[in-house]
Structure 1
Amino acid sequence: MKITLTPQDDVSCGWFHLSKPRKPKPSHEGTSAARWVVVGAGFTGLAAARQLAVHYPNDEIILIEAQVVGYGASGRNAGFAIDLPHDIGAEDYIGDIEIAKKTLKLNTMGQTIIKDLTRQYSIDCQLRESGKYQGAVEPRGIAVLDAYRRGLDKLGQNYEMIEEADLPGHLGTTFYKKAIFSPGTVLLQPSALVKGLADSLPDNVTLYENTLITDVEYGQKIVLSHQSGKIIADKLVLANNAFGMGFGFLKGRMLPVFTYGSLTRVLSEEEQSRLAGKSFWGLTPADPFGSTIRRTADNRIFVRNSFSFNRDGKSHEKYLQRFVRRHRESYERRFPMLSGVEFDYTWGGSLSLSRNHMGHFGELRPNVYGALCCNGLGVTRGTVTGTLLADWLAGQRNEMIDFLLKSNGPNANPPEPFLSIGVNATLMWSQFRAGKES
């Protein structure tokens, strides 16, 4: 079958350009065969390939990346490795307590894997166990924080509720009216992490970059073709999120939604003193369509907001031009003391979402497996599901694997044109309704 849904990201990702340069691995040429082939060298695919190599040290594992490592979706997110569950459909944002406990355990496992690997291989990705703020400006957002506090109490988690008068000492801005600080989140530079994970893979993993699969044939063997050759797999692992639909799976069940980020230039020492507050922090909005804000380790301000539904999975310049203006407005509202500080970079990055916020874990068809649809939690969820999928393929079972296998997976979307009309209308209305939170 012909694969038509393929990644094509913009060239302006700040995380990618500011992280340590690396020499990409060669693209694949000719014909190769392997027992295990993994498609997608983001958080999920890197974790799956690494763990398969541990379980099968005598097998070659082939890992295929359509672009270069750190350039795609995993290198474009906000860099939050979050431990706490957040069920936006529940009144207290925690929901079923048993599911919440397992989700917390799953996310914490993902964090632990990342922290262990960064220490073991000395990966410099600005990783800080700094916690995160969830901030609110308007009454509706403050109500969200109060509801979430009740949920965290039910879950037995530590947090600190910070009132308006005290927030400037944390964030350096008087913009926010209230925030919850939760200590368990890890902040990092995502592209630097992905690059470091790729360059520390076990010796029996062969990584091919800039290798875009254009055709796939399923049968007793799986044949993956590209413009310069083909790769024959006994077993195929898909770790490419919404692009898994291009391989014929979960069609009409995942949504390739893009979100957008900007990074300022480095703040001068004088500007840093004007901002005050902590020198490194991250904040997510009470309203999911509000702005995520970070002050980075290299003294830049990161702003992320705005969404678009890109059915083809590709970046589009028109959205970058439109949303950089929104980033500027969001920045100026929060940091009037640093008005006019230029953005060095603005970029888009894809999320794989489902309408019921569920992902797929396990078999897709005989000899084809996947950990797909991270629903915006790629750092932790991609890492842990990729690892556990490899464990399951090696015959292991445990509480977390069983929890993932029991998932109903992404539910079906409405047919076109109703899907695009509905998603675009929802995104526009939700971003408008976010108000000052945006």
Structure 2
Amino acid sequence: MTRHVVKRLPVDTGISGWEAISQRRFPATVLDRDITADWLIIGGGFAGLSAARRLLQHRPEDKIVVLDARELAKGPAGRNSGFMIDVPHNLSSGEYSVADEASTKAEIVQNRLAISFAAGVAAEFGLPSETFDPSGKVNAAASDRGLALNDNYRRSLEKIGEDHRVLDADEMRRMTGTTYYRGGLYTPGAVMIQPADYIRGLARGLHERVSIFEHSPVLELSREGRHWKARSNRGSVSAPKVILGVNGHIESFGHFRGRLMHIFTYASMTSAFSQNEFGTDVTGVDRWALLPADPMGATVRKVTVNGRSRIVIRTRFTYDPGLRVSDRRVAGIAAEQRRSFDARFPQMESLPLEFSWAGALCLSRNHVPAFGEVEEGLYSACCENGLGTVKSTLAGMMAADLAAGVGSPQLDQYRNQPEPSRLPPEPFAWLGVNSVIRFQELRAGREG
């Protein structure tokens, strides 16, 4: 008998603004009995819920169960910046696109497959434009280095025939209301989502056909005969096949240990404001979405719902193999974000940052997923490499295809990747990764 005892559970620090302003429209259910199913999915984020929908498409009569340790959207899936990006977005280097042309094209095809799947979710379950907005995104530059990075990125997109448009300082000011940015690079294929609303909307659409249990952490996963059995606090689920959509937490289940980098990033969201509170041009148009030209800079988004706007700013990365960070660190980084926000919008220094939070992401050194059948009947859809909305959606889709025996050229390509490479032993990994991160953040300068 194979037995995995889960000795640590995910810890989320701070209150995600996305989750706080999201409206939940169906009740949470806790697993409180022993049940059997055809499929068990552990993790109710982008990977897990995408796998559930994909399995419904393949096996509509099968019984599917999803277990999540928290309430949906309160974990990492509801804590990201909400960019579903089609073009390359490699956080492991100092520039977004570093692969050869063939690899870059292949990655774009995969990303667009996931975005198309998400667009199907939005259409099927009636998600509004505030939740799923195919508006594109802008890489914003605030310095000479940022402009140079954008120009490099432009050339790489040009080589492979990808649509893009260069924005000058005046266009950036009209969009955002601030003179902080000197230029931008617009790409039209990205979709902007309200991540907590998307996850809850997807779950709401699934929950009449999929049994979703929240606040039901898996404490032990064991194989008994031909079935896996997942034990939680008050019940258990037995199923012949299990998909793990738990990102870096998969190490807690005994797989890919010493191969995954557990990174935390940090964000703050302002309180709501109306345009006339600070003048009509202070923050530009109703919605915009900026990635930094330097990957280690500040991601900034403006969202508007019912005439009330908020701005979200995300900065800083830390490597934390213990999978938890302190409230004190979140508060300290929020103070840094206050300074970044005020530099961009000095007229709004009286506007409070209402919510601040940390969110976990997972990287591998060689920028590959932790994917595949890791034990008989146990499948991994983990390690999103810093682009959780798209990469986790894709991983969930591909894991469902693999487990259901549904072949495709896309699956063949996706599974034909090496496994994540090993990290140096601790404390060398901690020292090395955090040193590289801090150097890159300091080099980002005005982009942060």
TM-score range, shorter chain: over 0.9
Are 2:319 and 1:342 aligned? no
Matched residue, 2:266 = 260
Q: Give the whole-Å Cα distance in 2 for the aligned partners of 1:306 and 1:123.
A: 31
Q: TM-score, normalised by structure 1?
A: 0.95
Residue among 377, 380, 395 paired with 1:367? 377
Are 2:115 and 1:108 aligned? no
Are 2:223 and 1:218 aligned? yes
Residue among 78, 81, 93 paired with 1:78? 81
Matched residue, 1:120 = 124
CA contact (8 A) 2:41 2:52 kept: yes
Matched residue, 2:168 = 163
Are 2:188 and 1:183 aligned? yes
Q: Which amino acid aligns with 1:8?
A: V
Change (3 A) 1:16 1:353: same
CA contact (8 A) 1:281 1:294 kept: yes
CA contact (8 A) 1:94 1:148 kept: no
Are 2:237 and 1:227 aligned? no
Listed as ranges, the gaps of 5+ residues in structure 1 are none
Listed as ranges, the gaps of 5+ residues in structure 2 are none
Q: TM-score, normalised by structure 2?
A: 0.93
Shift in Å, 1:94: 5.0
Matched residue, 2:155 = 150
Detail structure 1 runs of 4+ shifted over 4 Å in the superposition. 87-92
Are 2:296 and 1:289 aligned? yes
CA contact (8 A) 1:257 1:353 kept: yes
SS state of the match for residue 240, structure 2? strand
Shift in Å, 1:399: 2.1
Change (3 A) 1:353 1:150: same
CA contact (8 A) 1:64 1:207 kept: yes
CA contact (8 A) 1:25 1:208 kept: yes
Residue among 45, 51, 54 paired with 2:54? 51
Shift in Å, 1:23: 4.3
Matched residue, 2:63 = 60
Q: Deviations over 1:341-393 (max 9, x none)?
A: 11111111110111221112221111111111011211112112212221232
Q: Which amino acid aligns with 1:192?
A: D
Q: Give the whole-Å Cα distance in 2 for the aligned partners of 1:38 and 1:326.
A: 38
Shift in Å, 1:229: 2.6
Of 346-355 and 200-209, more deviation after overlay is shown by 200-209
Q: Give the whole-Å Cα distance in 1 for the aligned partners of 2:10 and 2:173.
A: 40
Q: Which amino acid aligns with 2:297?
A: G
Matched residue, 1:308 = 318
Change (3 A) 1:414 1:37: same
CA contact (8 A) 2:68 2:213 kept: yes
Q: Deviations over 1:227-266 (max 9, x none)?
A: 2132222111100000011001111111221111111112
Q: Which amino acid aligns with 1:285?
A: P
Q: Give the whole-Å Cα distance in 1 for the aligned partners of 2:96 and 2:392.
A: 25
CA contact (8 A) 1:58 1:204 kept: no
Shift in Å, 1:286: 1.2
Aligned length: 438
Q: Deviations over 1:57-83 (max 9, x none)?
A: 222111100001111111110011111
